[in-house]
Amino acid sequence: MSNTGIYPALQALLGNTSSSIKFICISTLIGYGLSYSTRAVEILSVTPGYLMPPTFWIWTIFTFCFLELHFWEVLVDLITVGLCGKLIEPSWGQMEMLQYFAITNVGVAILTSFYYLFYSMITKDAELLFDVHIHGLAGMNAAVSVAVTQIMPDHLIARTPLGKFTNRNVPLTVVVVSIIMWACNLLDGTYPAMFASGLYVSWVYLRFYQRHSNGTRGDSAENFRFSSFFPNVLQPFIALIANPVYAGCLRIGLVKRLSPASSSSASLQSVSVHSMVGVDPHDMERRRQIALKALSERLSKSTDSSRQNLLPKSFPQGTGKHHHHSHHHHHHNQGGGFPMTMIPPAIPLPAPPPKSALKSDPTTKPIQATSSSSSTTNLINLEATAEQVAGPAMTTTTNT
């Protein structure tokens, strides 16, 4: 069953990967074989009490990541490393991938050891530093999830009743699930501590220190802030904690101030450019900003054209002509010419209907009467309009 299901899938996953990915996978399998020896586990895993003086077991920082005690953890590590070889390594390159692997695991070993040192100080249990053994690729699994989040943050994984589940939600979800499994005695306590440490170390490296092909460092994108790993409701509270830490690191020189993005449009944050093989993430962000700028310019042009189409076309108005002629006559009369009086045109009234027709057809009486009254009303309105137009000319004649 396993030969027909698991091994062919792993072979297809790791078939076209680089030598570095295959080396990590083979080393993990060898470490799982050595995990049956208690002495090997003690020598190869990180023990916080032995990592500190006076023993200084420094080599365990470089060997602990290849040691797994459970076979299902080995399978998770192989799948994660294989996905890393398929998604991340083609974009970054083999050397950058190995550097990312080394920095993340060294940081996880040191940060997790400090966590247990702090925990032993609170509980006043010094034996805890020698009973805990830190091992496995839990920190690297977190680092891969952070890198995938940086490259494809809005890639849809599944639709849930609570909303869309994207790559951005994976790191925090794994941390919460691992803590719940640890509380139910289904997982060792080192796993959530290592995963959380790997999440933070890998994000710090990608955010501030990773060198790109164009000479820049880090990733100043707004969608890659530390608070972006949390739900929108919690992001303001996370920012209250993260911003003072960032300001303190700036003062002591641990990190450099990030240069602002070339174009940050808050109204177009949903536009994203998915990753392509062989394209640098920094170049992807630059292309994203160019696409946002082109889209905003196109929207502004379409808005201006629609406004111009809504405006009525200009055409000559009769009122303006009358005003022009009256002004012309007024100016001519002031020059000493003959007075001119505009006479309204006479419109003949329709002949009244004969009485015989009214008597023979009583149904037409209201209609004809209405027509006659409406014609009389129109004549009165035309005469009033003519008097208004001729008013200035008549006044000029009287003054002259």
Calpha distance 178→195 (Å, rounded)? 9
Q: Is 302 helix (H, G, I), strand (E, B) or coil?
A: helix
Q: Is 216 helix (H, G, I), strand (E, B) or coil?
A: coil
Task: List the single range of 140-149, 150-159, 348-357 with lowest mean pLDDT.
Answer: 348-357
The structural domains of the chain, ordered by start, are: 13-224 (1.20.1540.10)
Span 356-378, average pLDDT: 46
Transcribe 362-400 into DSSP letters.
GGGHHHHHHHHHHHHHHHHHHHHHHHHHHHHHHHHHHH-
Query: Residue 166 to residues 44, 48, 202: CA-CA distances in angstroms?
Result: 36, 36, 19
Q: Which of the 8 DSSP states describes residue 217? A: B
Span 329-334, average pLDDT: 44
The answer to whether residue 5 scores a pLDDT higher than 50 is yes
Calpha distance 101→93 (Å, rounded)? 12
Q: What is the mean pLDDT of the chain?
A: 75
pLDDT band at 53; cut points 50, 70, 90? confident
Q: pLDDT tens for residues 212-252?
A: 888 888 888 888 888 888 888 888 998 898 888 888 888 88
- Whether the Cβ atoms of residue 261 and residue 221 lie closer than 8 Å to each other: yes
Give the side-chain half-sphere CA count within 13 A for 88. Answer: 28
- pTM value? 0.63
State residue 397's pLDDT score. 40
The answer to whether residue 400 scores a pLDDT higher than 50 is no
Q: Is 166 helix (H, G, I), strand (E, B) or coil?
A: strand
State residue 3's pLDDT score. 52
State residue 393's pLDDT score. 43
State residue 299's pLDDT score. 75
Q: pLDDT tens for residues 163-194?
A: 888 888 899 999 999 999 999 998 988 999 99
The better pLDDT of the pair 95, 327 is held by: 95
Span 29-33, average pLDDT: 94
State residue 181's pLDDT score. 92
What 225-233 contacts at long range (C-beta under 8 Å, 24+ apart), as own/partner pairs, is: 228/153, 228/168, 229/149, 229/168, 229/171, 229/172, 229/199, 229/203, 230/172
The better pLDDT of the pair 273, 234 is held by: 234
